[in-house]
Amino acid sequence: MVRSVGRDGPRFAVLRLEVDDRIAHLPGQHYVVRLRAEDGYTASRSYSIASAPGDDLVEICVKQLANGEVSEFLADVVQPGDELEVRGPLGGWFVWDGESPALAVGGGSGVVPLVAMLRYARETGHRDRICLVAAAATHDDLPYVDEILGGCNVVALSRATAPGGRPAGRLSADDLRPLLRPDQVVYVCGSAGFAEATTRLLVDLGVAPTAIRVERFGPSA
Amino acid sequence: MAVTRGFTRRRERDDRLPPGQYDVGADWPVLTAEVTPNVDPQRWTISVDGLVARPTTWTWDQAHALPQSEYHGDIHCVTTWSKLGTWFGGVSVDVLLDAAGLLVDSGFVMATSTTGYTTNLPLDDVRGGKAWIAWSHEGTPLTPDHGGPARLLVPHLYFWKSAKWVIRLTVMDHDEQGFWERNGYHDRGDPWLEQRYQGD
């Protein structure tokens, strides 16, 4: 059941769900939301979980896409009290156990599963185990900015000075180099283009490809 | 399951779309769990081993000297996109299996990539004109992000079964789970039956 529908800037809707018989998730996992029309037509989409495992509710963040059959419905039509068919948690690869030191690099809505990692680190009292680098074109393209700012985290905007003071510019090796540690797992999540560019930066900086876990997503309306 | 309050379809349904899938049109999303490897075609090889009479390895040039064939049709990704009316070129897996000589009538195949990625398939899903080693897409060489220089192509199953950067097919008499299958995805992956996850 949907408990709340909020907004994060002009492009993101944040839904908090109460899930019956919920199975605990690990940060990085996702839920599938399935919508069913009266004529039997169904549409399903995957959404990363933004909440930490200890949260009473499951939080997902939906990027509104122009004419997005599912995203516009979730952002504009759904109200608290509505029932949604969900399935999860899913995914066993792009997950963080909360133990290994981690670097998480997300582009746009790709930060959502990484925010769950950040929240988990906070929840377990191990804030020092993870650094999050969040990149996007503008502030409006990035959810959870206020929560990400601080600590070793970096917010990088290519077209504007970032909150936090980083000058405008694409994510570069200089942003990532100071955050690298030899024993860390690196999580990269974002569009295919972002994931390619970022993994190339990391490999060029000497990170072993086997230490990098990637979640790419394409257009998903 | 109940109707979702207020939800109506916006798109006309194309009969070529399996349940729960949508048409990406001209796009082709990239989904991979790993860093894209850069594989030099001249160093790429494809091997068939396991329960075969003649375990065989073909170089790029040797594979291209085999009878070529094309697939024209649709592909379906478990993340709910489908790409309709596309085409690939390469060599049929039947050609490779025939050359190697199957020692089993039924069984399974494990496909392995340069990255160590694996995926398991029933033998019957990769023979009888259903599977290819593909190196071109719509007439141009397959790019690395889409699995180039060569990938497995099993278009009647969800696309994670079509292992990118494939280098080996191992014939087995029993089933073993590959990468996504160990991580919760279905062992067969038929999009028309919506076999997305273990238990479907």
Choose the closest CB to A92 out of B20, B31, B184.
B184
Give the per-residue pLDDT at B111: 97
On whether both A136 and A157 belong to a single domain, the answer is yes
Q: Which residues of A touch B3 (CB under 8 A)?
A: 36-38
Residue B13 and residue A41 in contact, taking contact as beta carbons nearer than 8 Å: yes
CB contact under 8 A, B31 and A209: no
Q: Per-residue pLDDT averaged across A109-123, rounded?
A: 97
On whether both A55 and A139 belong to a single domain, the answer is no
Q: Is the dihedral of CA A183, A189, A191, A194 positive or negative?
A: negative
Q: Is A168 contained in some domain?
A: yes
Range of the domain at A163: 102-217
Q: Is A95 contained in some domain?
A: no
| pLDDT (tens digit per residue) in B13-71 | 788 999 888 888 888 777 767 788 889 999 999 999 999 999 999 999 999 999 999 99
Number of domains forming the structure of chain B: 1
Q: Which two tokens stand for residue A199?
A: 């993994």
Q: Per-residue pLDDT averaged across A23-29, rounded?
A: 95
On whether both A107 and A198 belong to a single domain, the answer is yes
Looking up residue B56, the CATH number of its domain turns out to be: 3.90.420.10
Give the per-residue pLDDT at B37: 87
Range of the domain at B57: 42-193
Q: Is B137 contained in some domain?
A: yes
Closest Cα in chain A, distance from residue B13 (Å): 9
CB contact under 8 A, B179 and A93: yes
CB contact under 8 A, B80 and A45: yes
Going by DSSP bridges, is the β-strand pair B81-92/B69-76 parallel, antiparallel, or unpaired? antiparallel
Q: Which residues of B touch A43 (CB under 8 A)?
A: 7, 9, 20, 22
On whether both A205 and A141 belong to a single domain, the answer is yes
Give the per-residue pLDDT at B120: 95
Q: Per-residue pLDDT averaged across A15-36, rounded?
A: 94
On whether both A122 and A166 belong to a single domain, the answer is yes
On whether both A171 and A147 belong to a single domain, the answer is yes
Residue B162 and residue B155 in contact, taking contact as beta carbons nearer than 8 Å: yes
On whether both A108 and A71 belong to a single domain, the answer is no
Number of domains forming the structure of chain A: 2
Q: Is A42 contained in some domain?
A: yes
Predicted confidence band at A220 (pLDDT cuts at 50, 70, 90)? very low
The answer to whether residue A212 neighbours chain B at the CB level (below 8 Å) is yes
On whether both A83 and A158 belong to a single domain, the answer is no
Q: Which residues of A touch B22 (CB under 8 A)?
A: 43, 69, 221
Give the per-residue pLDDT at A45: 86
- Of the residues A65, A90, A115, the one at which a domain ends: A90
Q: Is B78 contained in some domain?
A: yes
On whether both A201 and A159 belong to a single domain, the answer is yes
CB contact under 8 A, A209 and B37: yes
| pLDDT (tens digit per residue) in A74-85 | 999 999 999 999
Q: Is B16 contained in some domain?
A: no
Mean pLDDT of chain A: 93
Q: Which range in A31-45, A48-62, A192-206, B177-191 is most confidently predicted, on average pLDDT?
A: A48-62
CB contact under 8 A, A209 and B2: no
- Of the residues A59, A90, A121, the one at which a domain ends: A90
- Of the residues A90, A123, A152, the one at which a domain ends: A90
| pLDDT (tens digit per residue) in A145-189 | 999 999 999 999 999 999 989 999 999 999 999 999 999 999 999
Looking up residue A141, the CATH number of its domain turns out to be: 3.40.50.80
Q: Which residue has the higher pLDDT, A15 or B23?
A: A15
On whether both A123 and A210 belong to a single domain, the answer is yes
Q: Which residues of A touch B80 (CB under 8 A)?
A: 44-46, 220
Name the interface residues of B facing A (CB cutoff 8 Å): 1-11, 13, 19-20, 22, 24, 27-37, 79-81, 115, 145, 179-180, 182-184, 197
Q: Is the dihedral of CA A71, B2, B189, B64 positive or negative?
A: negative
Residue B91 and residue B133 in contact, taking contact as beta carbons nearer than 8 Å: yes
Q: Is A97 contained in some domain?
A: no
Give the per-residue pLDDT at B1: 66
Residue A29 and residue A46 in contact, taking contact as beta carbons nearer than 8 Å: no
Predicted confidence band at A218 (pLDDT cuts at 50, 70, 90)? low
On whether both A65 and A108 belong to a single domain, the answer is no
What is the rounded CA–CA span in Å between residue A209 and residue B113? Answer: 14
Q: Is B74 contained in some domain?
A: yes
Report which residue type is found at B106. Answer: S
Number of A/B CB contacts below 8 angstroms equals 110
